[in-house]
Amino acid sequence: MNLNALRLFVAVVQDGSLSKTSEKLGVPIATISRQISELEKSLNIQLFDRFKSGVKPTMAGQRLYEQVYVSMDNLVNAEQVLFAEQGRLKGLLRISAPPDCTPVLAWIAAFQAQFPLIQVHCTMTDRVLDMTADGIDVAFRMGELHGDNFIAKKVLSVGAKWVAHPDLLAKFGTPQNLTELAALPVAGWARNGENTLKVMVGKQVHFVPYVFACNESSALEYMAIVGKAVCHLADYSANRLIAQHGLVEVLADVDFPRYDISMIYAAHRYPSSIVRAFVEFVGQQLEAV
């Protein structure tokens, strides 16, 4: 099997487009197309469905990608992970983390200060990404996590706060409990199809109707800043909005639970040098606290 064709195949799956792969790798589209076609012929399977907007792997293509991408990624890292004169790693690290998760951003900054030749691409989103399909090396995710294909290590404990614009509180009053909160316009994180927010107080679950819900915290932050709703946000986001936009915390005395954030990476026996270095670095940062 042609390793160069496999490398191009993996890149096309991750980019979703031959033209994007061509631009990123500096390889002519015609060459990429020919290599993919030859790979399909050698395997006697169709690897991609072609659309005007790009390409998408077939079921067989997706299975092949899941089998080979880690090996190909390690081969690429074997080429890229070089030791400069000072013995520093070189290459690309792909990270996913919740939006505005400043502790993770601080780790990345400190890691790059120690390894200045490592590039980091960080996808900040509340959405749960497919680490294989989206080409993520290390992800930071909230909640309970279980699986045989990845390793999850708890790295953070995050609280949540309800915040509101002073103008909104002047109009509706400041809620003193969840019953009064439910009478105000409320916004928070929810999945599509859910018509209430699940709010934990101690070990009890409360269901609060919302006027706006989203799975992206940036949208919730906007609603809070413009005074459209009392919003439920992670404490690091809420603290920033309080400091920068004059928002006010409400229900500060209520015992809301904290949530764990875990660092996740593939459960391979031989992870890439860059992933191993970053995981070990975060562990050292936690031990130093």
The per-residue pLDDT for range 131-141, each reduced to its tens digit, is 777 788 999 98
The reported pLDDT for the residue numbered 86 is 40
Query: Both 52 and 127 in a single domain?
Result: no
Query: Both 132 and 269 in a single domain?
Result: yes
- Give me the percent of the chain exceeding a pLDDT of 90: 35
Query: Both 73 and 128 in a single domain?
Result: no
How many Å apart are CA 120 and CA 101, to the nearest integer? 15
How many Å apart are CA 91 and CA 83, to the nearest integer? 10
- Give me the percent of the chain exceeding a pLDDT of 70: 89
Query: Both 188 and 47 in a single domain?
Result: no
Query: Both 127 and 70 in a single domain?
Result: no
Cβ-based neighbour number of residue 67 at 10 Å: 9
How many Å apart are CA 249 and CA 231, to the nearest integer? 10
E-only strand ranges, the chain = 48-51, 54-57, 91-97, 118-124, 138-142, 150-158, 160-164, 186-189, 196-201, 204-209, 212-214, 230-234, 248-250, 259-266
Query: Both 78 and 195 in a single domain?
Result: no
The range of the structural domain enclosing residue 66 comes to 3-84
Query: Both 76 and 114 in a single domain?
Result: no
> Which of 60, 84, 108 marks a domain boundary?
84
Query: Both 10 and 80 in a single domain?
Result: yes
> Which of 29, 63, 84 marks a domain boundary?
84
Q: What angle do CA 273, 125, 203 make, to 5 degrees?
A: 105
Domain of 276, CATH number, reads 3.40.190.10
Grouping H, G, I as helix, E, B as strand and the rest as coil, residue 185 is coil
Grouping H, G, I as helix, E, B as strand and the rest as coil, residue 151 is strand
Query: Both 98 and 230 in a single domain?
Result: no
For the chain, what is the domain count? 3
Query: Both 132 and 169 in a single domain?
Result: no
Domain of 62, CATH number, reads 1.10.10.10
Query: Both 140 and 264 in a single domain?
Result: yes
What would the pLDDT profile of 23-44 be if each residue is shown by its tens digit? Answer: 888 888 888 999 999 999 999 9
> Which of 40, 57, 84 marks a domain boundary?
84
The reported pLDDT for the residue numbered 270 is 58
What would the pLDDT profile of 94-122 be if each residue is shown by its tens digit? Answer: 999 987 788 899 999 999 998 888 999 99
Query: Both 133 and 45 in a single domain?
Result: no
The whole model's pTM is what? Answer: 0.59
Residue 238 token pair: 């809420």
